[in-house]
Structure 1
Amino acid sequence: MNRRTFIGQTAISISAMAVKPVFSDKKEVPFYGHNGRVYRQVKGWGELNASQFPVKDCHEMVQDRKGRILLLTNETRNNVLIYNTGGKLINSWGKEYPGAHGLTLAGEGKDEFLLITDTARHEVYKTTLDGELLMTLEFPEAAELYEKKEAYVPTETTVAPNGDIYVADGYGQQYILHYGADGKLKGWFGGRGEGDKFLDNAHGICVDKRKGDATLLVTDRTRCCFKRFTMAGDLLEIIEVPGACVCRPVIHGDLLYAAVLRSPDMNHAKSGFVTILDKENRVISNIGGSEPVYKDGKLQPMSQQTPLFIHPHDVCVDRDENIYVAQWASGNVYPYKFERV
């Protein structure tokens, strides 16, 4: 039996467990996850000389069409670090984004572009993959939703199939602002409030087309759930993830991935993990977290089980279904890579 087959069969046998050591070359290799979504950490991936290429908060990561992994950090000596999947630094750029927070990749082929939210400058920037500024979405003063610019603190964006841009004001007044591809404001929904249609810590947003028509998945992090809206902002569904203060939703294939910043609540530090949901939005695996359990169709509260992470902030899934985890306020650590087994 070759090593790959052995590892694959071992992963199946432990798929219902969070961690099980497997001996390979006389070294104990822990696996993390459940139900066929099992991973092992690649130690030392992406670590650099911090005096040359430092990071503060590693906020978000994406993979471009060339297969490169782009990391966004609020370190203004190099806001963007570009790696290959082996963890080697290819390039870096950016000195102008002190509040660099959200990183969205959109467009096709040569027309790929980035959207960067800056929580310190209260703006959103469209750039090339090399950092050339293409457009600025400024403070939406015309909406008359804010008394001052500082009340608008955008955390994430997503791009609709028609090119429209949606911005989540996750650290501000909790609105989802809808722009045309030309940067002109078209509308908004959400906002702070107590009803289901309102949001509290609308930290992340993405377009979900897994079941056909495009919809918007929006994080309601304080309430430990995702909320699904129509592209016009009408509430369709609430996806409860009890115990998990989730960051942005990341769609890859039929699955939904998310970093869980803290668990079980926002006052409990050093307790995060990564969660994975299937096409029916049932949690199937937690990396570093407790095994997902449903009773009478209801997901039971989840929590950290293995201290892999402090404050995981984003997940990037590559073409081989390996995952990369960026962390906030975690001692200036570089991203972690986990290989699927």
Structure 2
Amino acid sequence: MSGPHWAHSDITTLSDGRLVTFSPDNRVMLVLGPDGELLASPTADVVSAHGVTAGTGEDGQDVVWVADPATGTAPDGRGGYEPVREGRHGRAVALRLDGTVERELPLPPQPVYDRHRFEPTAVLPVAATGEVWVSDGYGQRLIHRYGAGGDYLGPVEASRDGAFRCPHAMALDDSEGEVRIIVADRENNRLVALDPDGALIGTVAERLRKPSSVALHEGSLLVGELEASFAHLDRAGRLIQRVGLDEVAPLRPEWPNTVDARGATVAPAPPPGRFNSPHGITVDGRGRVHVVEWLLGGRHMLLTRGAGGYALAPADWTE
């Protein structure tokens, strides 16, 4: 991936093994085959495809749930970038694979949104209940519940009273006979577990490096840490392995980007075998882990698992 756009998206795996992510401008859906071949690239009806989660549509076909905070970045005319917002609120939508909207959830009818923006970062279909949960990570730090028909059920109780500081991502854990919703509470550097009724089960892991994405695979928790790392945890949250850690990257001026000799913001050149700013994560049908990063031009990295644990491929997967 290359270009002046500041990639800020996610990645997900469809039921047939295809992957869906978005272009660096966060508006064009990229449907990829299992070996990275581009199968389709429709423009999507979103401002910024931030959180991306596979789901099932009303006709039984694959859809992609997108949390669109309606925010982004744009060149400021002085060699840097500045935040931009479009519209009054963000949206939570299910997209068909042609980029059109199949379903849109209503704005949460909470008084706080009369005064403040709704800027969702993640959408999670909860198969056990038919509900859809939406995390307002960049907005009011609430997680909202919707029924199978799209009716609003209210905020998740565990998210009230400032409990979370940027509930950035969510993942469904339905292994071992129970259902847990794992929340990446990014600015608290932790993972927490909620039950399907929205009650807090407990903290799963602490002292992480700004967890921005989480996936489940074979009883493990796989975490994309925004501060330049991938963490492999067991289901209880114990650290098994950390891969590609670059402790220096988050200290760099203009991280997740860098500056050139003229002082302009440009894409970095991360050291081989190191992450820069993991933002989205998924596991494909072969058990490989895909990580997309938050930076100018975007970056799509691949990890494979062997006898020694996970290892990072030596180059961008899409090169």
Query: Equivalents in 2 of 1:332, 1:188: separation in Å?
Result: 35
Deviation (angstroms), 1:213: 1.9
| Structure exhibiting the larger radius of gyration computed from Cα positions | 1
- SS at 1:146 equivalent: helix
Query: Equivalents in 2 of 1:70, 1:130: separation in Å?
Result: 12
* Residue 328 (structure 1) aligns with: 294
Deviation (angstroms), 1:79: 2.1
Choose which of 64, 69, 73 in structure 1 pairs with 2:19: 69
Is residue 115 from structure 1 mapped to residue 65 from structure 2 by the alignment?
yes
Aligned residues: 262
Q: Give the superposed CA RMSD.
A: 2.6
Instruction: Identify the range of structure 1 (206-215 vs 107-116) with the bigger mean alpha-carbon deviation.
Output: 107-116
Query: Equivalents in 2 of 1:122, 1:333: separation in Å?
Result: 22
Choose which of 130, 153, 158 in structure 1 pairs with 2:124: 158
Choose which of 218, 235, 243 in structure 2 pairs with 1:253: 218
Q: List per-residue Cα deviations over 1:48-89 (Å, max 9, x = no partner).
A: xx57xx86315211121222111134626x521111222221
Choose which of 215, 218, 229 in structure 1 pairs with 2:194: 229
Is 2:204–2:236's contact at 8 Å kept on the other side of the alignment? no
Deviation (angstroms), 1:215: 1.9
- SS at 1:87 equivalent: coil
Deviation (angstroms), 1:105: 0.6
* Residue 48 (structure 2) aligns with: 99
Is 2:44–2:100's contact at 8 Å kept on the other side of the alignment? no
* Residue 175 (structure 1) aligns with: 142
Choose which of 232, 252, 275 in structure 2 pairs with 1:276: 232
Deviation (angstroms), 1:93: 1.2
Is residue 144 from structure 1 mapped to residue 111 from structure 2 by the alignment?
yes
Query: Equivalents in 1 of 2:186, 2:44: separation in Å?
Result: 29
Taking structure 2 as the reference length, what is the TM-score of the superposition?
0.75
Is 2:45–2:101's contact at 8 Å kept on the other side of the alignment? no
* Residue 98 (structure 2) aligns with: 130
Query: Equivalents in 1 of 2:218, 2:154: separation in Å?
Result: 30
Is 1:258–1:314's contact at 8 Å kept on the other side of the alignment? no
Name the % identity: 23
Query: Equivalents in 2 of 1:280, 1:238: separation in Å?
Result: 10
Q: List per-residue Cα deviations over 1:110-157 (Å, max 9, x = no partner).
A: 4322111111151111122332311111321x2323233x52110001
Is 1:254–1:279's contact at 8 Å kept on the other side of the alignment? yes
* Residue 212 (structure 1) aligns with: 177
Query: Equivalents in 2 of 1:128, 1:243: separation in Å?
Result: 34
- SS at 1:181 equivalent: coil
Taking structure 1 as the reference length, what is the TM-score of the superposition?
0.70
Instruction: Identify the range of structure 1 (108-117 vs 83-92) with the bigger mean alpha-carbon deviation.
Output: 108-117
Is 2:10–2:49's contact at 8 Å kept on the other side of the alignment? no
Query: Equivalents in 1 of 2:165, 2:160: separation in Å?
Result: 6
